Chain A
């Protein structure tokens, strides 16, 4: 009995209670709402709802919101991302295409075939980094060009 009392009143229990009912729900929920697209009203809505819910119900509410985020937020985010991509010209197809994967796999297989695991991993990381940088540079250059083009057409 004394041990049980000690366990309940220990600082670890207090810390756990503070974490589960105080800090964690808000933090976790803010992470979950990030599954929604940036301007989606549900992001603000769910966080605002949290503060009117009794504290003891908050962990369960947050757990339920994970389901909402995954079933509603994530598909909307994917849809929004696809729509954004459709409107953007593709300059460098390697970012999420098969080219990157093929290059990485080729370097890995070649390295492994030669028995140099570390070298092959280093090669694949290197190739990935070079491709990503090239894609990023091409993409930002295209955005700058489009910005200039829009500004000049507005002046006209």
Chain B
């Protein structure tokens, strides 16, 4: 997968809570990525096996349809962690905050 700025931003948002559930809209807001870029990227991450998805339990919500969530797989954590380490050394992404730098 090509390392683009959008991918790095999404990876940062996902890795901010590696064990948590992520929702499409909130992920887009946190990462600062448009839906037109985010959703195809999520599909690719799912196809690569870096993410898994699921649906909210309808019993836990009321007044709205259940949302789809995304979770990082073990492979996804490793791969995105590696991608972020590489990106932190890349000149193209110097304006992004990687947390540890």
Interface residues of A (CB under 8 A from B): 41-42, 44-49, 51-53, 61, 64-65, 67-68, 71-72
Interface residues of B (CB under 8 A from A): 23-25, 34-36, 39-40, 43, 53, 55, 63-68
From known contacts A61-B25, A71-B40, infer whether A48 and B35 are also in contact, taking CB-CB under 8 Å: no
Complex partner residue of B67 from A42, A49, A65, A71, CB under 8 angstroms: A49
Interface centre among B25, B40, B63 (most CB of A within 10 A): B25
CB pair A64 B34 closer than 8 Å: yes
A31 to B34 Cα, complex, angstroms:
20
17 A–B pairs (Cβ distance < 8 Å), ordered by A: A41-B68, A42-B39, A44-B55, A45-B24, A45-B67, A48-B67, A49-B25, A51-B65, A52-B23, A53-B25, A61-B25, A61-B35, A65-B35, A67-B36, A68-B35, A68-B39, A71-B36
Interface centre among B23, B43, B65 (most CB of A within 10 A): B65
Chain A residues in 8 Å Cβ range of B43: 72
Known: A53-B25, A64-B36, A72-B43. 11 other contacts (CB 8 A): A41-B53, A44-B68, A47-B65, A48-B68, A49-B24, A51-B64, A51-B65, A61-B25, A68-B35, A68-B39, A71-B36
**Residue ID in chain B nearest A63 by CB atoms:** B35
B59 smallest CB distance to A (angstroms): 15
From known contacts A45-B24, A71-B40, infer whether A64 and B35 are also in contact, taking CB-CB under 8 Å: yes
**Residue ID in chain A nearest B24 by CB atoms:** A49
